[in-house]
């Protein structure tokens, strides 16, 4: 049975992919379906809600994984992606521009996803889900 770290890593990777998909597909969908622009997908609150899901999930999973496998660089790499995502949300489109915000968000989400993949692999390689490491 998979342990909680692996399950949370998978959830966090999924959330990172959702960030990228939202960033890339929402503008296209709004152009094709103008009524979609009036929905929550283009609302700034959606970005805050998504970040509020990503932050605790990632911090918990990466922190727990780091405690089990000891690779602090994975935790620091993931935290840098979370910091970037938070900074993007604070600075916003006004400072970064629409393209800058999208590119930065994709980079931040990719950093987070890569950190979770590395965390997942480190746990598998170090047998973090075995009874001995509990």
Q: Are 9 and 132 in contact (CB under 8 A)?
A: no
- Angstrom CA distances, 64 to 3, 28, 75, 89, stand at 11, 38, 9, 26
Across the chain, mean pLDDT equals 78
pTM for the predicted model, two decimal places: 0.72
Give CB contacts under 8 A, 24+ apart, made by 97-101: none
For 71-115, how does the pLDDT look when each residue is reduced to its tens digit (9 = 90+)?
999 999 999 999 998 998 888 878 888 888 888 888 988 898 899
What pLDDT does 134 receive? 41
Q: State the virtual CA torsion across 65, 69, 73, 79 in degrees, nearest 10.
A: 10
């Amino acid at each position: 049975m998979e342990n909680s770290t692996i399950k949370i890593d998978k959830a966090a990777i999924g959330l990172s992919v959702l960030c990228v998909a939202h960033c890339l597909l929402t503008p296209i969908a709004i152009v094709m379906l103008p009524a979609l622009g009036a929905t929550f997908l283009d609302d700034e609150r959606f970005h805050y809600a998504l970040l509020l899901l990503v932050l605790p999930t990632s911090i918990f999973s990466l922190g727990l994984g780091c405690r089990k496998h000891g690779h602090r660089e994975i935790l620091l790499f993931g935290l840098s992606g979370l910091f970037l995502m938070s900074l993007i949300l604070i600075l916003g489109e006004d400072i970064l521009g629409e393209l800058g915000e999208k590119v930065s968000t994709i980079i931040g989400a990719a950093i987070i996803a890569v950190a979770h993949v590395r965390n997942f692999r480190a746990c598998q390689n170090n047998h973090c889900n075995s009874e001995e490491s509990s």
